[in-house]
Structure 1
Amino acid sequence: MRARQLLILLCGLMLSLQAAAEIVLRDDGGTEHRLAAPPQRIVSLLPSLTETVCALGAGTRLVGVDRYSNWPASVSALPQLGGLEDAQVERIVSLKPDVILAAKSARVIERLRSLGQRVVILESQTHADVRRTLTLLARLLGTPGAAEAVWSGIEKDVVAAASRVPPSLRGQKVYFEVAPDPYAAGAGSFIGETLARLGMDNAVPRELGPFPKLNPEYIVRAQPDVVMASDRALRSMPGRPGWQALRALPRRACGFDTAHYELLIRPGPRMGEAARALADCLVGLERSGEGVR
Structure 2
Amino acid sequence: MNQAHASLTVTDDTGAPVTLPAPATRVVSLAPHVTELLYAAGGGARIVGTVSYSDYPKEAQSIPRVGDNKALDLERIVALHPDLIVVWRHGNAARQTDKLKALGIPLFFSEPKHLADIPASIDKLGALLGTEDTARAASTAFTRDIAALRAKYAQLPPVRVFYQVWDDPLMTLNRDNVFSEVIGLCGGVNVFAAEAPRVPTVSTEAVLAANPEAIVTATPGATKPDRPLPALDRWKQWTSLTAVARGNLFGIDGDLINRPTPRLALGAAQLCRDLDGARKRR
Question: Could you say which TM-score interval applies, normalised by the shorter chain?
Answer: 0.7 to 0.9
Q: Deviations over 1:180-203 (max 9, x none)?
A: 443323333211112211211111
Q: Is the 8 A contact 2:214 2:242 kept in 1?
A: no
| Higher mean displacement: 274-283 or 44-53 | 274-283
SS at match of 1:268: coil
* Residue aligning to 2:254: 261
Q: How far apart are the structure 2 equivalents of 1:46 and 1:182?
A: 26
| Equivalence for 2:7 | 22
1:154 counterpart = 2:142: yes
Distance 1:177 1:88, change over 3 A: farther
Residue ranges of structure 1 left out of the alignment (5+ in a row):
1-17
Q: Which residue of 2 aligns with 1:274?
A: 267
CA contact (8 A) 2:164 2:170 kept: yes
Q: Contact between 1:66 and 1:82, CA under 8 Å: does it hold in 2?
A: yes
Q: Indicate if the aligned counterparts of 2:43 and 2:126 stay in contact, CA closer than 8 A.
A: no
Residue 39 of structure 2 corresponds to 54
Q: State whether structure 2 residue 173 is matched by structure 1 residue 178.
A: no
Q: Tell me the CA shift for residue 253 of structure 1.
A: 0.9
TM-score norm. by structure 1 comes to: 0.79
Note the 1:1-293 alignment, pairs <5 A: 19-105=4-90, 106-107=92-93, 108-162=96-150, 170-180=157-167, 181-206=169-194, 208=196, 211-216=198-203, 217-231=205-219, 232-235=229-232, 237-238=234-235, 246-249=241-244, 251-256=247-252, 260-285=253-278, 291-292=281-282
The 2-side partners of 1:166 and 1:137 are apart by: 30
Asked if structure 2 preserves the Cα contact closer than 8 Å seen for 1:188 and 1:206, the reply is no
User: In structure 1, how many angstroms separate the alpha carbons of the residues matched to 2:165 and 2:121?
Assistant: 22
Q: Output the CA distance in 2 between the equivalents of 1:96 and 1:236.
A: 49
Shift of 1:246: 4.3
Structure 2 runs not aligned, ≥5 long: 220-228
Q: CA deviation at 1:114?
A: 2.4
2-side partners of 1:87 and 1:243: how far apart? 44
- CA deviation digits over 1:38-72, x for unaligned, max 9? 11011111111111110111110011111021110
Q: Distance in 1 between matches of 2:79 and 2:180?
A: 40
| Aligned residues of 1:157 and 1:275 also touching (Cα < 8 A) | no
Indicate conservation of the 8 Å contact 2:164/2:217, yes or no. yes
The 1:166–1:115 alpha-carbon spacing in structure 2 relative to 1, beyond 3 Å, is: closer
CA contact (8 A) 1:227 1:253 kept: yes
Task: State TM-score, norm by structure 2.
Answer: 0.82
- Give the residue type in structure 2 aligned to 1:264: I
| Preserved CA contact (<8 Å) 1:38 1:140 | yes
Q: Deviations over 1:114-169 (max 9, x none)?
A: 233332211111113223322321221123344442232123323444566599x7
Secondary structure class of the residue paired with 2:165:
strand
- Does the C-alpha gap of structure 1 residues 98 and 222 become closer, same or farther in structure 2, counting only changes over 3 Å? same
CA RMSD of aligned residues (A): 2.8
In structure 2, relative to structure 1, the CA distance for the partners of 1:236 and 1:213 (3 Å cut) is farther
Contact kept in structure 2, 1:47 and 1:70, CA below 8 Å:
yes
Distance in 2 (CA, whole Å) between partners of 1:274 and 1:162 is: 13
Cα 1:182–1:93 change in 2 (3 A) is farther
Higher fraction of helix: 1
Structure 1 residues 283 and 172 mapped into 2: Cα distance closer, same or farther (>3 Å)?
closer
Change (3 A) 1:172 1:285: closer
Counterpart contact for 1:55–1:150, Cα < 8 Å: yes
What letter matches 1:234 in structure 2? Answer: A
